[in-house]
Chains A and B, each alone.
Chain A
Amino acid sequence: MSGITIDVQPMVEEPSRDVTRAGSAAGSDQPAEMDAVFELEGVSIHYGDFQAVRDISLRIARNQISALIGPSGCGKSTVLRSLNRMNDLVPSARLDGTIRYNGEDIYDPAIDPVEVRRRIGMVFQKPNPFPKSIYDNVAFGPRLNKFRGNLDELVERSLRRAALWDEVKDKLGNNGLSLSGGQQQRLCIARAIAVEPDVILMDEPCSALDPIATLRIEELMHELKSNYTIVIVTHNMQQAARASDVTAFLTMGEDRAGYLVEMAPTATLFTRPASKLTEDYITGRFG
């Protein structure tokens, strides 16, 4: 099934800026030539009998920051967690539809979810460093993969990319939990970067941080964009407007199942939303 779709929409190595220029693209009607990292088709997710997300189809472009926004309970975190199969850890979770990552169906029975997670890293809402040293936190992932290079160098590089190196270079042996909240979150980003993923998923990464720490994370996301594809879930519309290239707005229907209202370049979505629902939400009349 996945093969057919790929034939219909050949993926061309096209610079991802095209998406930004694509203007009024609404819903999942992204231009076909976009270099998509993820393609979701008809994705529905259930937790037991409860339908959390209904029939979502969208594409996420490479080397861009895509934001998922929407009211609480609209399933945006559920969608995010389905991208690296973290929902598999919830015993009652079930997914219908297809999610393709670089053209491969990640829910194919032949695919090992652990391999998916090694390529698609994740940063969580609450900073969650391991109760280990700063060094061991960053080295955790590479050690899992039996990393055979210069580990010190990799740790330094990851911490530098996460804009934390200067603050911790003299105390790499200290416990990760001794850092401040914002530093802990940057440590978690460094930890995710250290396994050299392709994509970083961020689930409301700033909701536990103060405005200054939030700004640092946003700057960091901007720097990381050139090397990684970032998908961020946020409650904070200003953050989506400031930090993302493309924004998807999700809301929920009467049955409390979340669905995609529209997805568009951020500037378009916030200035000329295609849907009345989006307009109400971004102008604060709903949510």
Chain B
Amino acid sequence: MTANAQAGRVSLQVASGHARRRAWFSRGMTGILGLALLLAVIPLALILAVIVVNGLPAMNWEFLTSTFNFSRRTPGGGYFHGLVGTLYMGGLATLMAVPAGIAAAVFLTEFPRHRLAGPVRFFSDVMTGVPSVFVGLFVYTILVRQMGFGTFVGAVSLAIIMLPIVVRSAEEILRLVPAELKRASYALGARHWQTVFGVVLPTASPGLVTASMLAVARALGETAPLVLTALAAQSVVLDLQGSGQTALPLLVFREARGAFEAGQQRAWAGALELMALVLLLTIVARAFGARRGGRS
């Protein structure tokens, strides 16, 4: 102490005067953050728990593989037609939205100064916020009134919902591709398109798969646009157009509102099936992305 004072230095002891208070403050803040995390996780956990608890009793092989009974009042039967419709429309919508969305994102990242880049980005943002029922109404007005209800128009409405999600999340992913890699490619005499296909897209592929999956998961859960485009079906429909189509969320929506206990049970099982489907697709996509991307 005296040595310090003589040298005009402040001792560590004095300088650390508030150390204990700081430690408590730090603990308090960590606690608050933990609480916030808990608050955020509780609704998610509750939803999962309620769906599993209510859906599991009605979930069985018959539910997964058969369509409606003759009577909706009685237990039995299942949502196989809804699963087919969901995968059919979801698959078509993915084929429409993912290539177009990734192409738009490549445009936005490779030509950021192009005069169309600003408008494209702006409208993607606006479209992300458009309520999905409007998308249904839009497709109803321009397609359904000419073509009728069906798989294709349903897929179009889902694709419109997916597109802005794919564009914006893919843009974020593509922006993460290091500029040094692009420079390395150019320095080897690659043309712009060779750099995009040879370096940018392969480097970003795991992230692009995740971005696409986000959009697919969102689309598979959509109900409102399908009410106005796919309408409904009582059995498995493989036609592209000409008859109505159904999907898991449509069936859940109808039967959950219904008066019959058996129907409500099926709706719970349908919700569980939808959730499991999205989870499964996400896991598969992640595994695929990790394998293809090959980051050390």
Contact = CB atoms under 8 A, between A and B. Distances in A.
A127 to B, nearest CB: 9
Given A144-B198, A177-B296, A188-B184, A131 B189 contact: no
B181 A144 contact: no
A181 interface: no
B293 A141 contact: no
Interface string B187-228: 111110010001100110000000000000000000000000
B21 interface: no
B180 A126 contact: yes
Given A91-B113, A177-B295, A131 B203 contact: yes
Given A130-B184, A131-B203, A144 B189 contact: yes
A117 B199 contact: no
B189 A122 contact: no
A134 to B, nearest CB: 11
Contacts of A140: 185, 188, 190, 198
A194 to B, nearest CB: 8
Contacts of B296: 131, 175, 177-178
Interface in B149-183: 178, 180-181, 183
Interface in B62-111: none
A132 B182 CA distance: 14
Nearest to B203: A131
B294 interface: yes
**Interface majority SS (helix, strand, loop, mixed), chain B:** helix
B203 A130 contact: yes
Contacts of B202: 130-132
B181 A128 contact: yes
Contacts, number: 74
B188 A191 contact: yes
Contact of A195 (B183, B189, B198, B294): B189
B123 interface: no
Interface string A112-133: 0011011001101010111111
B186 interface: yes
A84 B202 CA distance: 26
Contact of A144 (B178, B194, B203, B294): B194
Interface string A175-214: 1011000000000100110010000000000000000000
Interface residues of B, number: 22
Interface residues of A, number: 30
Given A131-B203, A195-B188, A124 B183 contact: yes
A86 interface: yes
Given A124-B183, A140-B198, A132 B188 contact: no
Nearest to A191: B188
A132 B205 CA distance: 12
Given A132-B202, A140-B198, A144-B194, A122 B187 contact: yes
Given A128-B181, A177-B295, A178-B296, A84 B187 contact: yes
A177 B293 CA distance: 12
A145 interface: yes
Nearest to A129: B184
User: Which of B178, B294, B295 is the most central at the interface, judged by chain A CB atoms within 10 Å of its CB?
Assistant: B294
Interface of B: 113, 178, 180-181, 183-191, 194, 198-199, 202-203, 293-296
8 shortest A-B CB distances, which residue pairs? Answer: A118-B189, A122-B187, A128-B180, A141-B188, A177-B296, A175-B296, A178-B296, A117-B189
Given A86-B186, A128-B183, A141-B189, 19 more contacts: A86-B183, A86-B187, A114-B190, A114-B191, A115-B189, A122-B187, A128-B180, A128-B181, A130-B199, A130-B202, A131-B293, A131-B296, A133-B294, A143-B198, A144-B188, A144-B189, A144-B190, A177-B296, A195-B188
24 contacts: A86-B186, A89-B186, A114-B189, A117-B186, A117-B187, A118-B189, A122-B187, A124-B180, A124-B184, A124-B187, A128-B178, A128-B180, A130-B181, A130-B203, A131-B293, A131-B294, A131-B295, A131-B296, A140-B188, A144-B188, A175-B294, A177-B296, A188-B184, A192-B187
Interface of A: 84, 86, 89, 91, 114-115, 117-118, 121-122, 124, 126, 128-133, 140-141, 143-145, 175, 177-178, 188, 191-192, 195
